[in-house]
Amino acid sequence: MNFTLPLFSAAFPELILLSMTCIVLLADIFLPARLRGLTYYLTQLTLVLAFVAAFMQYQDYPEPIITFHRGYIVDKLAILSKLIMYVFSLFAFIYARDYIKERRIATGEYYLLGLFSVLGMSIMVSAYSLLTIYLGLELLSLSLYAMVAMYKDSTLATEAAIKYFVMGALASGLFLYGISLLYGITGDIQIATIAQTLQSNLNLVALVALIFIISGLIFKFGAVPFHMWVPDVYQGSATPVTLFIASAPKVAAFVIMVRVLVQALPSLQVAWEQVLILVAILSMFFGNLLAIAQTNLKRMLAYSSIAHIGYTLLGILAGPQSAQGYSAAMFYISTYVLVAAGAFAIIAILSKQGMEFDQLNDYRGLNARNPWLAFMMLLLMFSMAGVPPTVGFFAKLGLLQALVEAHLVWLAVLALVFALIGAYYYLRIVMLMYFEEPATPQHSQHIAVSPGLAAVISVNGVAALALGLLPSTFIDLCRISVG
């Protein structure tokens, strides 16, 4: 076996992330306290640099490049998802800044762990061997466990961190066990090789391996039946952490799902399609139904995220029979993440020290207290409900079109029925904000928001509308990347 030097330029964004993260780490340790604010700016600079690097790759690499001993790939899917993840992480850090400063949550560490998880996600989406996927996944997960636990003052956060860690470790174990079984059958962990070797070899061991792998993936994605951690973690974590968990990692989880199921195991498609149908239906059902009963907005959005993951899976399972299934799912998950990030950001912006603004009742009469934020929340809620002209509708439209094309009309009807159930609790938020008066007089004064944050959240909210009015470009991008 001769040694070839890997093509380092292919991993340029990751290299930037890694080296800059080390610099941020050193800076945060050695800088005097009054200059610590620099950590935040360095972090954002890192993300901007990584974004630029990935963007240049998008132009430079029209064809997929596989390097690092065939364990690493740079294709349109990887690059587009990296671009999306960097943008969302950037937004997440902007929203987090005031919140964690006010509550004296260890600030430098938040950004550092954030950067490490961004690195983990980058590796995940570019991974082309099951072990690389696992490495990226673990880097992401470990950083996230620590981020949840960082809010030391809150018992809920500590509880959530322990739950998240124990369950997450179990899921990683399942995933790893599945990989080892696959390695046993095929003798390789590289995705393309597995796909070739397993071509006509539908045996019991492969099915068992598939079940283990899917379980691990579904856990990370947060879909039924491995969804139990989602509500607790979403509710318990500090809101910026929830925002972060709910945004970029979902895109990464989607990409590894495509890599593992679609690219590595196309021969087991009949099997995983059936599993995914079940998981998708259950997720949409339980997610939407349980969300109705919630009184805590973060918890409600957690259940709603389970439902939305269910919708995303519809795209993946329709993929083999429909030209647009995968790209519709990609469009769905990225726009959902945009909307979810906006919703959590509004919670974070409204929260004050000692007043978390995460109960549904806190939102009573928000229109009278801050009409613009209420309007942004309205757009985001209607987008989640899938009402045109917001982007949520076009996301659902793409999925339904894929389902109809794949002759799964019954599933499309079912998905829409669940969407109807879902609309109820999104509408309830709008109802509270617009139709009700504030609960108590002291809750009725105007809420001031710093202009910077107001501008960022406006970009986020208006994007939900603008992408709905003009979705063509982004749909095309998703098609090119996943197609």
- The site for another protein (CB under 8 A) is made up of 324, 327, 367, 371, 382, 387-389, 393-394, 397-398, 400-401, 404-405, 409, 412-413, 416-417, 419-420, 423-424, 427-428, 430-431, 434-436, 471-472, 475-476, 479
Of 35 and 420, CB closest to another protein: 420
Of 427 and 454, CB closest to another protein: 427
Of 71 and 471, CB closest to another protein: 471
Of 136 and 398, CB closest to another protein: 398
Which residues lie below 8 Å from residue 111, measured CB to CB, with a gap of 6+?
24, 28, 39, 40, 43, 93
The answer to whether 173 and 215 have CB atoms below 8 angstroms apart is no
Of 42 and 482, CB closest to another protein: 482
Q: How far is the CB of 330 from another protein (least distance, A)?
A: 12
Of 342 and 392, CB closest to another protein: 392
Q: How far is the CB of 338 from another protein (least distance, A)?
A: 18
- Phi, psi for residue 190 in degrees, rounded to 5: -85, 140
Q: How far is the CB of 367 from another protein (least distance, A)?
A: 8
Of 8 and 435, CB closest to another protein: 435
State the SS3 of the chain. CCCCCCCHHHHHHHHHHHHHHHHHHHHHHHCCHHHCHHHHHHHHHHHHHHHHHHHHHHHHCCCCEEECCCCEEECHHHHHHHHHHHHHHHHHHHHHHHHHHHHCCCHHHHHHHHHHHHHHHHHHHHECEHHHHHHHHHHHHHHHHHHHHCCCCCHHHHHHHHHHHHHHHHHHHHHHHHHHHHHHHHCCCEHHHHHHHCCCCCCHHHHHHHHHHHHHHHHHHCCCCCCCHHHHHHHHCCHHHHHHHHCHHHHHHHHHHHHHHHHHCHHHHHHHHHHHHHHHHHHHHHHHHHHHCCCEHHHHHHHHHHHHHHHHHHHHHHHHHCCCHHHHHHHHHHHHHHHHHHHHHHHHHHCECCECCCEHHHHCCHHHHCHHHHHHHHHHHHHHHCCCCCHHHHHHHHHHHHHHHCCCHHHHHHHHHHHHHHHHHHHHHHHHHHHCCCCCHHHCCCCCCCHHHHHHHHHHHHHHHHHHHCCHHHHHHHHHHHC
The answer to whether 50 and 17 have CB atoms below 8 angstroms apart is yes
Q: How far is the CB of 98 from another protein (least distance, A)?
A: 25
The answer to whether 71 and 132 have CB atoms below 8 angstroms apart is yes
Q: How far is the CB of 409 from another protein (least distance, A)?
A: 6
Of 237 and 367, CB closest to another protein: 367
Q: How far is the CB of 474 from another protein (least distance, A)?
A: 10
Q: How far is the CB of 326 from another protein (least distance, A)?
A: 13
Q: How far is the CB of 320 from another protein (least distance, A)?
A: 16
Of 244 and 285, CB closest to another protein: 285
Q: How far is the CB of 393 from another protein (least distance, A)?
A: 7
Q: How far is the CB of 301 from another protein (least distance, A)?
A: 19
Of 243 and 400, CB closest to another protein: 400
Of 105 and 338, CB closest to another protein: 338
Q: How far is the CB of 312 from another protein (least distance, A)?
A: 18
